[in-house]
Amino acid sequence: MLYDFVIFVIVMTIAGISLWLLSIVTSPKNPHPVKEDTYECGLPAPEPIISSVNFQYYFYAIIFIAMDIAGVLFVLYAIGKGNPSFGWIFILFSFLLMIPLSYVMLGGRKE
């Protein structure tokens, strides 16, 4: 069983590195300046674009993704026929998830 996991990790690592190298080899080296221009709804922008990113809801998005993954893990544990002693791991995991969730719900980072 451990041998299968190691083989899986090695194959996925090789696949990831090969896809990364393929993207480097096949990507355009000298794109046309028109393709790098900023457009709004297919038309050139009427005024200069200031490329600043608002990270106001970034923390909420990260917490949403973490809770979504946790929900999937909990459902998989609930419907699976796993070892009951792993329940303590999920209890600890849920308490660890409550730390960032309570941080965000109690006000989080004020900007």
pLDDT digits (tens, 9 = 90+) for 60-95: 788 888 888 888 887 777 777 666 666 777 778 888
Residue 111 lies in a domain: no
42 dihedral zone (left: phi>0; alpha: psi -120 to 50; beta): left
Structural domains counted in the chain: 1
Instruction: Extract the tokens encoding 13.
Output: 């690592």
Task: Report the distance separating Cα 86 and Cα 88, nearest Å.
Answer: 5
The pTM (predicted TM-score) of the whole model is 0.42
Query: Apex CA 61: angle with CA 58 and CA 65, to 5°?
Result: 140
For 38-60, the pLDDT digits (tens) are: 666 766 666 666 666 666 777 77
Residue 67 lies in a domain: yes
Residue 74 lies in a domain: yes
**CA-closest candidate to residue 90, choices 105, 79, 78:** 78
pLDDT of residue 18: 96
Domain range spanning residue 7?
A: 2-105
pLDDT of residue 7: 92
Residue 110 lies in a domain: no
Q: What confidence tier does 20 reach under pLDDT thresholds 50, 70, 90?
A: very high
Number of other residues whose CB lies within 10 A of the CB of residue 81: 5
